[in-house]
């Protein structure tokens, strides 16, 4: 049996940026193909959200472990819900950038984004506009 309350796990789960990065990693892994390109997108997002360049890699390592050990996205979305609207929009833009990093969004990725839109209390029209912006930037 796994002990979810071990001290080492609790220490890892303390950093809010690690939880946000874990959500981004979860989206990257939903298609079972977590690429270096996606990892770089996530790293840049973590830096944009306030991490120092030198700590971004350690945040990603923590986030990868958190994402691997968790079995639900609700844990990750709690941190994002507490952010201001501008930060939420940056995160949604990053999520779409991750999804379209391979120039394609499959049904699992689209379904996950619909779920996240509701869980993060975001307007579906805004999320759709962000998606269009990301797609247009790929052209």
Query: What is the domain partition of the chain in residue ranges?
Result: 7-138
> What's CA 9's distance to the chain center, in Å?
19
Q: How far is residue 41's CA from residue 95's CA, in Å, rounded to a whole number? A: 9
Is the pTM higher than 0.75? The answer reads yes
The domain made up of 7-138 has a fold known as: TerB-like (1.10.3680)
Q: Give the model confidence (pLDDT) of 16-32 as tens digits.
A: 899 999 999 999 999 88
Rounded to the nearest integer, the mean pLDDT of the chain is: 87
């Amino acid at each position: 049996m796994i002990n979810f309350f071990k001290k080492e796990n609790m220490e890892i789960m303390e950093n809010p940026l690690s939880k946000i990065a874990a959500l981004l990693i979860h989206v990257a892994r939903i298609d079972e193909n977590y690429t270096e390109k996606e990892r770089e997108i996530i790293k840049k997002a973590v830096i944009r959200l306030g991490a120092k360049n030198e700590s971004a890699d350690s945040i990603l390592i923590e986030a990868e472990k958190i994402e691997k050990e968790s079995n639900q996205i609700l844990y990750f979305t709690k941190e994002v819900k507490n952010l201001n609207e501008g930060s939420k929009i940056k995160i949604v833009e990053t999520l779409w950038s991750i999804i379209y990093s391979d120039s394609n969004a499959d049904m699992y990725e689209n379904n996950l984004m619909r779920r996240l839109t509701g869980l993060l209390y975001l307007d579906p029209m805004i999320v759709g506009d962000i998606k269009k912006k990301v797609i247009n930037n790929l052209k």
